[in-house]
Amino acid sequence: MYRPRNDPSPLSSAFLKLPDTLLLVFDREGRLSMISDAWVEALGYDLGELKQHRFFDLLYENDRSECRVKLDNMNATAPTLRFSSRCCRKSGGYLGVVWNLTLDVETDLFYASAHETAVHLSPVEPQLPDVFVDGLTGLPNRSLFLDRLDHTFRRTERRKDLQFAVLHCGIDRFKVINHSLGHRMGDLLLMKVANLIRSTIRPTDMVARLAGDEFGILLEDIRDVSSTLHVVTRILQKLQLPFVLHEHEVFSTISFGIVVSGNEYLLPDAMLRDANLAMVGAKEQGGGAYMVFNRGMHDQAVRRMELEMDLRHALERGEFQAYYQPIVNLEQGTLAGFEALVRWNHPTNGLISPLEFIPVTEETGMIIPLGRWMLHEACRQLKHWQNTLPNTAELTVSVNLSGKQMQQASLLDDVRDALSDSDLSPLSLKLEITESAMMQDIERATRLLAQLQVMGIRILLDDFGTGYSSLAYLHRLPIDTLKVDRSFVRHLHENKTDRHFVETIVHLAHRLQQDVICEGVELQEQADILAAMGVGYIQGFLYSRPVAANEAAILILTGLEQRD
């Protein structure tokens, strides 16, 4: 908090001369000991006249008695107060303001900061409507935060040198608290975090609860972004100590997104939006950190939104295609089957990388209908080849299952429907699941995959070595094949560590009577090393990239040839 200085002329404080900074210090009787110059412009009095007033004289007549009661109730256990009132203008009428008051118990002085509000305070009722106050924390809510931010924008029209920052912050892993300790403990944590932030920032700044576990902070009259980082650092330092929630001690961290004012912002909503984008980026880094917004984040968000909108119509418009990458029997050098991979042929942007759109389908749930379509399409295509092309009876097709698909109660029915509709034998279908998807619910996944095996479908554990690699579970999982991730094959021919790792996996798989497929094979030297290890199958650019169905049919007819 700001404290009165020891010099004999506190009114000469440089801070009190800042434009648009409404500050007061007064005692229980309302006698002013400090007053900022900004009140001159706000109320129309000259500074000499204001110094002769008491605090209560500045208030609209009908608001004074209620304000006295509020101040009388402030004490050591309730030293802070936020309320709204109307202040008298010299010219008549009133100015609506929101006050932040702190009582210094030692000196019995009130330190007050105020900001104008565009929210209409009626002549009868000076209080802010409940719609502007968060009921749990007592903080301003999103609407009032945007109102204050809008006022700050208008200040910049008068002060071109004014710099300010918006921070959007969220409690990391807040859902864990709610789910493990209950919502009452979650509410207590929100109140304690609100108080921590409120006690860290200056009286002239603002903190609001925006939604759920998210808060907004407005820092005005800053020098540059480093001023903002000092505030963030102080908050993060305070979070090193646990919060005491009744009998529980809870450690919590906060992620911050930071936006500093600039000419590119014309609307408060846009600035808060970008702060939120930066906060999301900070959370993706693991939490307990901050990220300063840059234009690339906004462009990426717009791109993602457009992608999501287009994805919602892509399936019904037939924009997805199944591509097929050959899986090669390494000992015989013959085609054993294909892995089916989805591709999106966008009508205007062409082929879009799965690395770009698959995460969006996962987060939005669109992976469920897309995965169902892919399963049906792969089964249909292989059956078509078996009916029309020679030497295809033993070919198999592998289809990837996402973690979300594994959680669907309808998965078994979806697989049965795909086989039934295509008339494909279950022996011709393989399903691939990643270690991370398997470990989300190991017991349920084990039961589900065992049921699929009973149907005659073979199960592949994809990207083995990059996820959990839990040997404690591997021996009892219903797995037929381990797929070694390409990251261990890429430098196999020149890196002994990778070679020994793959050797270990192959030995383990053979002991468990499982097959091995190595992905990402691009060189004959790599294939030779894998063959010497006893690897049964490989796939990679050495033989073919993923290709459309018509090109895959040519590979079936002409046989495999190594690519240069």
C-alpha–C-alpha distance, residues 96 and 87, integer Å: 6
Question: pLDDT tens digits, residue range 68-88?
Answer: 998 999 988 888 887 888 888
For position 361, what pLDDT does the model report?
92
* Confidence at residue 374, expressed as pLDDT on a 0 to 100 scale: 97
Range 151-175 average pLDDT: 87
The pLDDT value recorded for residue 11 is: 39
| 353: confidence class by pLDDT, cuts 50, 70, 90 | confident
What's the whole-number mean pLDDT along residues 408-413?
A: 93
For position 198, what pLDDT does the model report?
A: 85
d(CA 547, CA 560): 13
Structure-token pair, residue 297: 């984040």
Confidence of residue 143 (pLDDT cuts 50, 70, 90): confident
pLDDT in the model for residue 519: 94
DSSP classification of residue 455? T
CATH assignment of 1-126, among 3.40.50.300, 3.50.30.30, 1.20.1560.10, 3.30.450.20:
3.30.450.20
Strand pairing class (214-220; 248-250): unpaired
- Lowest-pLDDT range, 71-85, 129-143, 302-316, 360-374? 129-143
pLDDT of residue 20 exceeding 70:
no
CA of 550: how far to CAs of 144, 359, 561, 562, in Å?
60, 28, 17, 19
* CA dihedral for 314, 318, 319, 325, sign (positive or negative): positive
pLDDT of 122 reads 55
Q: Which residue has the tokens 């039934």?
A: 420
* pTM of structure: 0.60
Could you state, in order of their start, the residue ranges of all structural domains in the chain? 1-126, 129-293, 314-484+543-558
On the question of pLDDT at 10 being above 50, the answer is no
Q: What fold does the segment set 129-293 form as a domain?
A: Alpha-Beta Plaits (3.30.70)
Segment among 118-132, 229-243, 500-514 with least mean pLDDT: 118-132
The pLDDT score that the predictor gives to residue 1 is 29
Which pLDDT score, from 0 to 100, does residue 92 have? Answer: 79
Burial class (CB in 10 A: 0-12, 13-18, 19+), 200: middle
- What pLDDT does residue 76 have? 86
- Return the axis-axis angle of helices 183-200 and 225-238, rounded to nearest 10°: 130
Give the homologous superfamily in CATH for domain 314-484+543-558: EAL domain (3.20.20.450)
State how far the Cα of 297 lies from the Cα of 281, in Å rounded to an integer. 9
pLDDT bracket for residue 134 (50, 70, 90)? confident
Other beta carbons less than 10 A from residue 242's beta carbon: 11
End-to-end CA distance of the chain: 72
CA angle, corner 315, sides to 277 and 438, nearest 5? Answer: 70
Rounded Cα–Cα distance for residues 266 and 264 (Å): 7
How confident is residue 56, by pLDDT bands cut at 50, 70 and 90?
very high
